[in-house]
Structure 1
Amino acid sequence: MSEISMTLLLLIVLFVLLGSGIWVAFSLLGVGLIGMAFFTDAPLGEVLATTVWGASNSWSLAALPLFVWMGEILFRSRLSEDMFAGLSPWLTHLPGRLLHVNILGSGIFAAVSGSSAATAATIGKMSIPELGKRGYPKSMIIGTLAGSATLGLLIPPSIILIVYGVATEQSIARLFIGGILPGLLLVAMFMGYVVVWSLLHPEEIPAGEEQVPFAEKVKHSRRLIPVILLIAGVIGSIYSGIASPTDAAAVGVALSLLLSRFTGTLNRETFLAGLLGATKTSCMIAFILAGAAFLTVAMAFTGIPSMLASWIAALNLSHYALLGALTIFFVILGCFLDGISVVVLTTSVIMPMVEQAGIDPFWFGIFVVIVVEMSQITPPVGFNLFVIQGLTGLDILRVAYAAIPFFLLLLVALALIVIFPAIVTVLPDMMGG
Structure 2
Amino acid sequence: MSDIAVTLLLVASLFLILASGVWIGLTLTGVAWIGMQLFSARPAGDAMAVTIWGSASSWTLTALPLFVWMGEILFRTRLSEDMFRGLAPWMQRLPGRLLHTNVVGCGIFAAVSGSSAATCATIGKMSLPELQRRGYPEAMTVGSLAGAGTLGLLIPPSIIMIVYGVAADVSISKLFIAGIVPGILLALLFSGYIAFWAWRHPGQIPPPDAPMTLREKLHASRALIPVVLLIAAVLGSIYAGIATATEAAALGVLGALVISASQGSLSWATFRDALMGGTRLYCMIALILAGAAFLTLSMGYIGLPRHLAEWIGSLGLSRFSLILALMAFYILLGCFLDGISMVVLTMGVIMPTVLAAGIDPLWFGIFLVLVVEMAQVTPPVGFNLFVLQGMTRLDILRIARHTLPFFLLMLAAVVLLYVLPELATELPRRMSR
* Structure 2: gaps of 5 or more residues: none
What one-letter code is carried by the residue in structure 2 that aligns with 1:162? I
Q: Which residue of 1 aligns with 2:252?
A: 252
Q: Which residue of 2 aligns with 1:149?
A: 149
Is it true that 1:302 corresponds to 2:302 in the alignment?
yes
Q: Which residue of 2 aligns with 1:355?
A: 355
Shift of residue 45 of structure 1?
A: 2.1
Write the distance in 2 (CA, Å) between the matches of 1:15 and 1:64. 28
Shift of residue 269 of structure 1?
A: 0.7
* 1:255-285 per-position Cα deviation (integer Å, ceiling 9, x unaligned): 0000001111110111000000001111111
What's the % identity of the aligned pairs? 60
Shift of residue 119 of structure 1?
A: 0.6
| Residues 199-348 of structure 1 mapped to structure 2, 5 A cutoff | 199-348=199-348
- Secondary structure of 1:266's counterpart equals coil
Write the distance in 1 (CA, Å) between the matches of 2:32 and 2:85. 51
Write the distance in 2 (CA, Å) between the matches of 1:356 and 1:37. 29
* 1:71-117 per-position Cα deviation (integer Å, ceiling 9, x unaligned): 00000001111111111101101000000000000000000000000
Write the distance in 1 (CA, Å) between the matches of 2:280 and 2:218. 40
What one-letter code is carried by the residue in structure 1 that aligns with 2:290? A
Shift of residue 397 of structure 1?
A: 1.1
| Residues 28-177 of structure 1 mapped to structure 2, 5 A cutoff | 28-177=28-177
Write the distance in 2 (CA, Å) between the matches of 1:61 and 1:89. 40
Write the distance in 2 (CA, Å) between the matches of 1:86 and 1:264. 18
- Secondary structure of 2:94's counterpart equals coil
Q: Which residue of 2 aligns with 1:179?
A: 179
Write the distance in 2 (CA, Å) between the matches of 1:323 and 1:18. 28
Write the distance in 1 (CA, Å) between the matches of 2:335 and 2:288. 18
- Secondary structure of 2:150's counterpart equals helix
Task: Kindly report structure 1 stretches of 4+ aligned residues shifted beyond 2 Å.
Answer: none
Shift of residue 43 of structure 1?
A: 2.4
Write the distance in 2 (CA, Å) between the matches of 1:253 and 1:259. 10
Shift of residue 57 of structure 1?
A: 1.0
Write the distance in 1 (CA, Å) between the matches of 2:396 and 2:290. 33
Q: Which residue of 1 aligns with 2:198?
A: 198
| Residues 383-422 of structure 1 mapped to structure 2, 5 A cutoff | 383-422=383-422
- Secondary structure of 2:294's counterpart equals helix
* 1:162-199 per-position Cα deviation (integer Å, ceiling 9, x unaligned): 00001111100000000000000001000000000000
Name the Cα RMSD after superposition.
Answer: 0.7
* Structure 1: gaps of 5 or more residues: none
Write the distance in 2 (CA, Å) between the matches of 1:91 and 1:124. 17
Shift of residue 423 of structure 1?
A: 0.3
Write the distance in 2 (CA, Å) between the matches of 1:21 and 1:364. 32
Write the distance in 2 (CA, Å) between the matches of 1:249 and 1:191. 29
Write the distance in 2 (CA, Å) between the matches of 1:360 and 1:312. 18
Report how many residues are paired: 433
Write the distance in 2 (CA, Å) between the matches of 1:401 and 1:264. 40
What one-letter code is carried by the residue in structure 2 that aligns with 1:10? L
Write the distance in 1 (CA, Å) between the matches of 2:26 and 2:218. 53
What one-letter code is carried by the residue in structure 2 that aligns with 1:143? G
* 1:285-343 per-position Cα deviation (integer Å, ceiling 9, x unaligned): 11111100000010000010000000000001001111111111101111111100000
- Secondary structure of 1:131's counterpart equals helix
* 1:131-160 per-position Cα deviation (integer Å, ceiling 9, x unaligned): 111110011000110000000001000000
Write the distance in 2 (CA, Å) between the matches of 1:53 and 1:416. 40
* TM-score in terms of structure 2 length: 0.99
Is it true that 1:15 corresponds to 2:20 in the alignment?
no
Is it true that 1:365 corresponds to 2:365 in the alignment?
yes
* 1:18-66 per-position Cα deviation (integer Å, ceiling 9, x unaligned): 1211110111111111111111111222211111111111111000000
Write the distance in 1 (CA, Å) between the matches of 2:184 and 2:214. 26
